[in-house]
Amino acid sequence: MNDPALISYLEDFLTDRRKSLIKKVIDQRTNHITVATQDVYQLHNTSAVIRSCDVFGIQNIHVIEEKFPKRIDREIAMGAQKWVSVNRHASAKECISHVREMGYQIVATSPHDDSLHLGDLDITKKSALFFGTERYGLSQEIIDEADCTLKIPMYGFTESLNISVSAAIILQSLAEKMRKDDVKWQLNEQEKEALKFEWLKNNLKNSTELISHFYSK
């Protein structure tokens, strides 16, 4: 449980401008949509997706790492990992089970003809958007487990997009649609306080010492 007095104490080490910005951003954060990436070889692509999550207010990303080592490209993420919660999974099965338990429908991105067009996804349902690699796409395991598949309408000769580009297009579209529709997408007050505490811990350089000092008083 978060201690309101501790949060207030830590906030005193921020400028008024920083405190105002954190409140503004938290008010726009959502768990109604979440993102999952599967075995993305190019690490900068995963990092770019994390940045897109931050930009469009998506708080959680799930990274499936069955084939490649656990590492986030901090330079490309440009600090976004401080603001987005990165959940690591050893397998697709583990990730799918986790997000299903949280009440998400599984939405697999796929360019196949029978996939839903981006604008036709039912945004009233909590959605976990799964992205694969540009070359291979998502595994058949995820496609088979998906509640639906989703594609970006394309009108040129190119049939696929880089994962970071696809994620940015889809997240921008769905985040805007979600905010316009009658959907309860915002975090509740308890979630906001918990997130604020995590952000304060992650972004105050000496947060561990400050917390120890607070409880020693």
The pLDDT tens digits for 65-116 are: 877 655 554 544 456 678 999 898 989 999 999 999 999 999 999 887 789 9
Amino acid at 106: I
User: Is 23 inside any structural domain?
Assistant: no
| pLDDT tens-digit map of 182-215 | 899 999 999 999 999 999 998 898 999 999 998 9
SS3 110: coil
Q: Is residue 15 part of a domain?
A: no
pLDDT digits (tens, 9 = 90+) for 155-183: 998 877 889 999 999 999 999 999 999 89
Cβ pair 88, 65 in contact under 8 A: yes
List the domain range (segments joined by +) for residue 171: 29-211
Residue 216 lies in a domain: no
Q: How many whole angstroms separate alpha carbon 130 and alpha carbon 185?
A: 19
In a domain, 5, yes or no: no
Query: What gap in Å lies between CA 143 and CA 212, rounded to an integer?
Result: 47
Q: Could you tell me if residue 207 is inside a domain?
A: yes
Establish if 72 belongs to a structural domain: yes
* Alpha carbon distance 213, 73 (integer Å): 33
By the 8 A CB rule, do 120 and 107 touch? no
DSSP 156-189: SS-----HHHHHHHHHHHHHHHHHHSS---BPPH
Q: Look at residue 22 and tell me if it is in a domain.
A: no
Q: How many residues belong to the chain? A: 217
Contact 83, 53 (CB under 8 A): no
Q: What residue spans of the chain are helical by DSSP H? A: 4-11, 16-26, 43-55, 74-77, 92-101, 140-145, 163-180, 189-203, 207-216
More confident residue, 86 or 28: 28
Phi, psi of 11 (to 5 degrees): -65, -25
Tell me if 65 sits within 8 A of 94, measured CB to CB.
no
Yes or no: say if 28 and 57 are a contact pair by the CB < 8 Å rule. Answer: yes
Q: What's the longest Cα–Cα distance across the chain?
A: 66
Name the more confident of 41 and 54.
54
Quick check: is 42 in a domain?
yes
CA 167 vs CA 12, 33, 55, 203, 206: distances in Å: 36, 12, 12, 26, 34
Domain count, the chain: 1
Mean pLDDT, residues 108-130 taken together: 92
Closest C-alpha to 51, from 31, 73, 66, 69: 73
The CATH number linked to 78 is 3.40.1280.10
